[in-house]
A and B are shown apart, each in its own frame.
Chain A
């Protein structure tokens, strides 16, 4: 075997090892995150309670919205359940940033960085753990929503679209939260995480459809990519006669928004992590 072949074989083995290490480390971080959820329910309960509170309070308080001409559903809970789920997913994602800040402050993260673990696993692991948590939240929200009178109008696809939207929002939130946490490394980042997610969510069709909005919000919501994600999430919960009902044209915009924003936010997280290493 000549030297070039040796180096090439070595590189292949290293790459394979690296892949195994990455997945193993990510798996351990998922396990840690899920154990923390079980051991510290006080940290997980707000993530579970928030979407329920949003759904219940908004659909009750703003029940009269459904009487507006052209409102896409006559069930307010059908309209506000996806909002509750999206808020829960977003804060579940951003919550990763809070945990990371704690880990950075108490030194746990330095120990992780000193260990021979792949850097990517430090992002992949927590994001996958968030997906598991968001799926649990979504199941809970669907059950409570059903009890409150939410009825899907596109069968199983209604649930699938809402879940995909929630997972997408949590990924975006996670990338953004981790990136800010790596940059700031203290609680200043937490305030920016919450504020930015809150503003982005509410300056979209979170509360009312575009047709109902007036003034500046209409202009902002029309170009806000989160509007597309809400369209995807609600496509199976609005009336069949509504223009927002389940169809490819109402779904693909949300999928593209999720893909693009997820890639950008995760890249932001990776670049911020690299900055710490430097």
Chain B
């Protein structure tokens, strides 16, 4: 990457970040709903923490923290990708192509906004739930690792959703993937441990990538700051992010060729 393309990517990243923060109506629901579900779950499932197979936790909220983070980041990333689709729909994408802008900068600039928002919302979830019993055993180092993990998950999901945006050029199609994410979330270990599930549900949750994203962060929350917990929290989303970026880049190239 040349100095110019870095500058252009940063400018586009700034634009996408400001866009998210200037339109709170777009992103606030992705923060309010996970928090609501956390408090609802804490009151509904607070007594389940003594069930066989449930990990040792100080409260259900401590167990739920990781699920809340992933839920919020997933929904926020859809909003970011939908904004890219809107750029395509309203012609801003074409204007960027007509200018001497770095092509990859268009994609990475957009993802930068999602990554920053992912890190921000992760921090908000941690500090909002901490006073109510969502302890982080890994301490401040763990919190930093969780924020990095949240940012990487945002990058991974944002890149996947951006592929949809680049392929279809339709914000409606991107929003249409929301139910799919919702299904993936509910068939994962985001709300209940895999050990308490049985049969086909346990198998699906085992294969579901969302389970692994959640369990990485959960390890930091429950097991403390260990090398394996940190590696799970950071390396799993990083690996998914790399694959997702390759897919997104290939979709970008296809769109550029078709233009």
Contact = CB atoms under 8 A, between A and B. Distances in A.
Given A53-B183, A68-B51, A61 B201 contact: yes
Contacts of B40: 202-203, 207, 217
Interface string A26-54: 00000000000000000000100000010
Nearest to B193: A64
Interface in B89-135: none
B167 to A, nearest CB: 20
A63 B197 contact: yes
B47 A61 contact: no
B1 interface: no
A64 B48 contact: yes
Nearest to B188: A61
B187 A68 contact: no
A248 interface: no
A60 B42 CA distance: 19
A102 to B, nearest CB: 15
A60 B201 contact: yes
A16 interface: no
B201 A63 contact: yes
Interface in B157-215: 179, 183, 186-187, 191-192, 196-198, 200-201, 204-205
A57 B204 CA distance: 11
B253 interface: no
B187 A61 contact: yes
Given A207-B44, A214-B47, A64 B187 contact: no
Contacts of B51: 64, 67-68
B29 to A, nearest CB: 9
B201 A214 contact: no
Contacts of B204: 60
A57 B47 contact: no
A177 to B, nearest CB: 19
B53 interface: yes
Contact of B43 (A60, A64, A214): A214
Given A202-B40, A203-B40, A215-B42, A63 B47 contact: no
Interface size class of A (residues with CB under 8 A): 20 to 34
A208 interface: yes
A108 interface: no
B46 interface: yes
A62 B40 CA distance: 14
A61 B43 contact: no
Nearest to A207: B44
A208 B45 contact: yes
A1 B200 CA distance: 80
A64 B53 contact: yes
Scoring B42, B44, B198, B201 by chain A CB atoms within 10 A of each residue's CB, the highest score goes to: B44
Scoring A64, A212, A214 by chain B CB atoms within 10 A of each residue's CB, the highest score goes to: A64
A213 interface: yes
A24 interface: no
A183 interface: no
Contact of B44 (A53, A61, A67, A208): A208
B191 A61 contact: yes
A68 B205 CA distance: 22
A144 interface: no
B14 to A, nearest CB: 29
Nearest to B202: A60
Contacts of A58: 186
Contacts of B53: 64
A208 B46 CA distance: 11
Nearest to B46: A214
A278 to B, nearest CB: 31
Interface in B35-66: 36, 39-40, 42-48, 51-54
A62 B198 CA distance: 10
A103 to B, nearest CB: 20
Given A53-B186, A60-B197, A213-B44, 18 more contacts: A46-B179, A60-B200, A61-B191, A61-B201, A61-B205, A62-B191, A63-B198, A63-B201, A64-B53, A64-B197, A67-B51, A68-B51, A207-B44, A208-B45, A213-B43, A214-B46, A214-B47, A216-B43
27 contacts: A57-B183, A60-B187, A61-B191, A61-B192, A61-B201, A62-B192, A63-B196, A63-B197, A63-B198, A63-B201, A64-B53, A64-B54, A64-B197, A65-B45, A67-B51, A68-B51, A199-B36, A203-B40, A208-B45, A213-B46, A214-B43, A214-B47, A215-B43, A216-B43, A217-B40, A217-B43, A217-B44
Q: Which 10 A-B pairs have the closest CB atoms?
A: A217-B43, A60-B201, A64-B196, A57-B186, A214-B46, A215-B43, A207-B44, A208-B44, A61-B192, A64-B51
